[in-house]
Structure formats: structure tokens, C-alpha cells
Structure 1
Amino acid sequence: MSKIDKRNKLSKEPFDYEITKKGTVVIYYKGKQIKIIKDREAECLIKRIKEVEDNITAVQLLLAKITGNFKRGNEKFRKNKRK
């Protein structure tokens, strides 16, 4: 895992997940909801999470991969929005 997480960000456990009664998976990043996974994709993710449940870094890596490249570092927070 050291080759994948070179900056050791996954050890801080930024991702969290919740499995709902309907079988959907809600993924959070630093407490904010970022993605909802449903149907077959959710079933596969739940199965994969249960396989590596003991390894926290592996779970974090699964959640990071499923969310995709949502945070690239080039997001800008504007103080003055266009009107």
C-alpha cells in the first residue's frame, strides 16, 4: 500500500461510509457526503468492504477508488461570486 498512498493521507481515515436499510452505500469525506452508491454497484462494494474489514487502510483505499478523482487540488473557493 505504500506505493499507492505515498503521502500517507489514508492513514488519517478521511473516508467514512454508511450502509442504509435499502442497501445503498453513502460515502463521506471528512464528514461531508460526497457520493451515494446504489443497486449492483453497492452490493459489490459491500461485499468487498466485508472482505477487507480488518484492514482499515484497505477499506479507505476502496472508498477512495470508488469515489473517483473528485478532489484534484485545483478547486478554488471564491469570495466574490459572479452575479
Structure 2
Amino acid sequence: MSGIDKRNRLGEEPFTYQITKNGTVIISYGGRQIKIVKGMEADRLVARIRDVEDIPTEVQLLLAKITGNFKRGNEMLGKKGLD
């Protein structure tokens, strides 16, 4: 996994999740809700989380992947400019 999380961002555990009574999974990043997963996709996600819940970085990786194309690591280039 070292090749995936080169800057150890997942070790900081930025993602959190909440499973509601009806099985919906609410994923947050830095305290802000970013994705809601419902239905069969939520069922599969919960099963995968339970398989690796003893390894926090693996849970973080699952949550990062389910959010899609999120936080590639090049955000600062847009803020600072290319000067």
C-alpha cells in the first residue's frame, strides 16, 4: 500500500463514515459530507469495511476509492499558480 499513499494522508484518517438505520452510508471528509451511498452499493461497501475494519488505513483507502476521483494531490498547483 505504500505506493498508493505516498504522502501518508490516509494515516491521518481524513474520511469518516456513518451507517444509517436503513443501510445508507454517509461519507465525510474533514467533517464535511461528500457522498451518500445507497442500496446494493452501500451493502457491498459495508461488507468490505467490516472485512478490514481492524486496519484503519485500509478503511480510509476504501472510503477514498468510493468517493471517486477525489484528492489526487495536485490541488496546490491550482491555488498557487504555475509561476
Shared fold by TM > 0.5? yes
Give the equivalent residue in structure 1 for 2:29.
29
Q: Distance in 1 between matches of 2:69 and 2:7?
A: 16
Q: Distance in 1 between matches of 2:51 and 2:38?
A: 19
Code of the residue aligned with 1:21 in structure 2: it is: K
Paired residues, number: 76
Code of the residue aligned with 1:24 in structure 2: it is: T
Deviation of the 1:75 alpha carbon: 6.4
Alignment of 1:54-65 (within 5 A): 54-65=54-65
Q: Does the CA-based 8 Å contact 2:23-2:42 persist in structure 1?
A: yes
Question: In proportion to residue count, which structure has more helix?
Answer: 2
Alignment of 1:4-83 (within 5 A): 4-72=4-72, 73=75
Q: Taking every aligned residue pair, what percent have the same amino acid on both sides?
A: 66
Aligned-residue CA RMSD in angstroms?
Answer: 1.4
Q: State which structure, 1 or 2, has the greater radius of gyration over its C-alpha atoms.
A: 1
Code of the residue aligned with 1:6 in structure 2: it is: K
Q: Distance in 2 between matches of 1:42 and 1:27?
A: 11
Change (3 A) 1:75 1:44: farther
Runs of 4+ with deviation above 4 angstroms: none
